[in-house]
Structure 1
Amino acid sequence: MSNCAACNDKLLGNDYMECGRCKEAYHYLCLNFSPEEVTSITEDIRRSWMCPNCLNKQPKGDNSNALVRPSTPTGLAEVTFNVTKRKVQTKPETLSTCKMMDPSDFVTRSDLQLTIREEIRSAMREFAGVMNSTLNAKLSEINETLGELKESVSFLNDQFETIKSKVDINTSMVNKLKIENDSLRSEIGFLAGRVRLMDQMSRSTNLELQCVPERKAENVITIVKQLGNVVNCPLNDCDITYCSRTAKSNPDSSRPRSILVKLSTPRLRDSLLAAVIKYNKKHANDEKLNSSVLGLDDKKVPVYVVENLSAENKHLHAAARLRAKQLSYKYVWVRSGRVYMRKSDTSEAVFVRNVDVLNSLK
């Protein structure tokens, strides 16, 4: 494949013209042919066409083959364009008579390369300007956003420090309150124990007579004095400071109301309790203390004489009896307001201070 005589690039396909004399070939683009001119080229024109160099070498003659650039924008005119008509026979249509070009109109390879470079540089400068403008705008937005973020982070940091300071203060206060709470709990527990002890000590002269049958117009003081006579611990009116039946803890219970007796001294109370225990032991095989021996009823109803316990100690005593039944403990008793348990005759007594002691028993 030959090269173009103008730009020296390779000729590809049919996109070129070949001189009928020197056989040099030229690109349509190098000859400055428009697409309309290319499509109008016939085979006769292609065979008779001569390049500008060959046209310049022709002898001078009539102006039928003068090297003149057409004034029309297409560069390709009719056969008679720019030709002096004679009466002689006209020559065949050739491209040399319809398109004459000046050698200065050709574009050399170096000029083409220079033009391309300039166009590329111009396009790159324009692209760089657009990119710089776009990047500057974006960077400005980013800087503005970063500034706002910095302000937000600074604000959040200040808020965090404030909250952290408050949390530290509150944590310190909570720790102090925990210590105070533990101290107060301990003190409350101690004071509650003292209150329970004082409550029980205030009942140190009290006795309860349980399951004593009720009668209308009864005299409970007479019943208490009769009890003293039966167990061989006589009581006078001055020994009894208070005596009355108490309300039932469970209104639905069928048991009669208990009789609460307040004696003059704790020693007298303990003496009467000891006398009752002695009487029951002495009459263990025949008849223990009951309503019949007290002269209240022919029907024998067991009568129980116990210490008057506080409400909390009553609950503890009931829980101790239930636990003793579960664990097969033989004895449960109360002495001076305290609850005791014993599993057998030979085992040690267990002081039931609270429910935790009952739960620890095995």
Structure 2
Amino acid sequence: MNSSPDARVPKWICKGCKPKPCSPALVTDTASTQGELVTHTELPPSLSGIEDPLIVSSLLDQMKLLRVELAAVTHEVSSFRQELALLKGTLSEVGKRVDSVEARLTQLENKAPCTISESHLLEDFAKLKSDLNEREQSCLLNDIEITGITERNEENLHHVTGLIASKIGVTLDERDVVYVERSGPRPAYNETGERSRPRPIVVRLARRSIRDQLLRAARVRRGVDTTGLEIDKEPKRFYINERLTKTNRVLFYHAREEGRRNGWRYIWIREGRIYAQRSKDTAAQRIKTQNDISKV
């Protein structure tokens, strides 16, 4: 290659180094493609002044992505509105049910004073209490209660019961006694080693006929004491009675007190039931509750 070193522009270039002329068709196609891209793309007014087609194409792609995301957000908002509508309907149904329940309660409260009164409730409660007391008393029909016997620290109650029965003329076999024990809280001992106030002796018998025999013998020998039984140093009177529930025991006590004030002559117990009679010429009255005492 023949060229001058001082020359900035080569004067002569070989055929291999000469640039080939562009094809007129290629130039035409490229220009037309770029023209179509710029011409046929819808550009917003803010991008109309941008001449670079690559920047315009990138901005248009980003706008398309934003449109897709906006459509997804719109769909989510629409589904959320539908769920809110369903929730609103459910809350409305629950509110209707609550209103219905409140209306029922109000109706029952308005009817309650008319159908159920306090006096009726008290009467029912008293009847239930009386029925329970009678059932409890029926479980004690084979029991007797012996009072007035001195209580010691070490005592054989089976032996004491046998001595008391023999004192009133009844012979008890070991098989006739189911169990025997002291009833109630233990009082304190005194200086002589005896209880200050002896608890009653409760005896459960195997048969009611034996219990009735002991009660009849105790009535016949009313006023008998412990003379000759080697139980007490000094003779003491003892008493044999039917065993009562706590309710009947208190009721019997109140009945006797009122009977003394009002001059009632006979107040007794038979088969766990309390009876009162003013005199021999009047009829006997059964007492079940405290109200019966005031009525009688």
Same-fold call, TM cutoff 0.5: yes
- Name the CA distance, whole Å, in 2 between partners of 1:331 and 1:255: 28
Structure 1 position 173, deviation (Å): 2.9
Q: Does 1:193 align with 2:130?
A: yes
- Counterpart in 2 of 1:325? 260
- Name the CA distance, whole Å, in 1 between partners of 2:260 and 2:186: 23
Once the two structures are superposed, the pairs formed by residues 244-259 of structure 1 within 5 Å of their partners are 244-248=181-185, 254-259=196-201
- Name the CA distance, whole Å, in 2 between partners of 1:351 and 1:251: 38
Structure 1 position 254, deviation (Å): 4.4
Question: SS of 2:221's equivalent?
Answer: helix
- Counterpart in 2 of 1:227? 164
- Counterpart in 2 of 1:265? 207
Q: How large is the RMSD of aligned CA atoms in angstroms?
A: 3.1
Q: Which has the larger radius of gyration?
A: 1
CA pair 199-169 structure 1, distance change in 2 beyond 3 A: closer
* Matched letter for residue 111 of structure 2: N
- Counterpart in 2 of 1:274? 216
Structure 1 position 211, deviation (Å): 1.3
- Counterpart in 1 of 2:106? 170
- Counterpart in 1 of 2:115? 179
Once the two structures are superposed, the pairs formed by residues 62-211 of structure 1 within 5 Å of their partners are 170-176=106-112, 179=115, 187-211=124-148
* Matched letter for residue 179 of structure 1: T
Question: SS of 1:271's equivalent?
Answer: helix
Q: Does 1:341 align with 2:276?
A: yes
CA-to-aligned-CA distance 1:114-139 (integer Å, 9 cap, x gap):
xxxxxxxxxxxxxxxxxxxxxxxxxx
Question: SS of 1:247's equivalent?
Answer: coil
Whether the aligned pair in 2 keeps the contact of 1:289 and 1:302 (CA below 8 Å) is: yes
CA pair 279-324 structure 1, distance change in 2 beyond 3 A: same
* Matched letter for residue 220 of structure 2: K
Aligned with residue 155 of structure 2, among 214, 218, 221: 218
- Name the CA distance, whole Å, in 2 between partners of 1:351 and 1:275: 25
Whether the aligned pair in 1 keeps the contact of 2:187 and 2:196 (CA below 8 Å) is: no
Question: SS of 1:315's equivalent?
Answer: helix
CA pair 215-194 structure 1, distance change in 2 beyond 3 A: same
- Name the CA distance, whole Å, in 1 between partners of 2:246 and 2:115: 32
- Name the CA distance, whole Å, in 2 between partners of 1:348 and 1:250: 41
Structure 1 position 190, deviation (Å): 3.7
- Name the CA distance, whole Å, in 1 between partners of 2:260 and 2:126: 30
Structure 1 position 346, deviation (Å): 3.3
Structure 1 position 295, deviation (Å): 3.2
CA pair 343-176 structure 1, distance change in 2 beyond 3 A: same
The TM-score, its normalising length taken from structure 1, stands at 0.47
Whether the aligned pair in 1 keeps the contact of 2:187 and 2:198 (CA below 8 Å) is: no
* Matched letter for residue 242 of structure 2: E
Aligned with residue 226 of structure 2, among 278, 291, 315: 291
Whether the aligned pair in 1 keeps the contact of 2:224 and 2:238 (CA below 8 Å) is: yes
- Counterpart in 2 of 1:27? none
CA pair 166-311 structure 1, distance change in 2 beyond 3 A: same
Structure 1 position 169, deviation (Å): 5.2
Question: SS of 1:256's equivalent?
Answer: coil
- Counterpart in 1 of 2:38? none
Structure 1 position 354, deviation (Å): 1.3
- Counterpart in 1 of 2:242? 307
Whether the aligned pair in 2 keeps the contact of 1:329 and 1:341 (CA below 8 Å) is: yes
How many residues align? The count is: 191
The TM-score, its normalising length taken from structure 2, stands at 0.57
Question: SS of 1:302's equivalent?
Answer: coil
Whether the aligned pair in 1 keeps the contact of 2:187 and 2:197 (CA below 8 Å) is: no
Structure 1 position 186, deviation (Å): 5.3
CA-to-aligned-CA distance 1:40-64 (integer Å, 9 cap, x gap):
xxxxxxxxxxxxxxxxxxxxxxxxx
- Name the CA distance, whole Å, in 1 between partners of 2:285 and 2:187: 29
CA pair 250-187 structure 1, distance change in 2 beyond 3 A: farther
Greater Cα offset, 314-323 or 183-192: 183-192
Question: SS of 1:356's equivalent?
Answer: helix
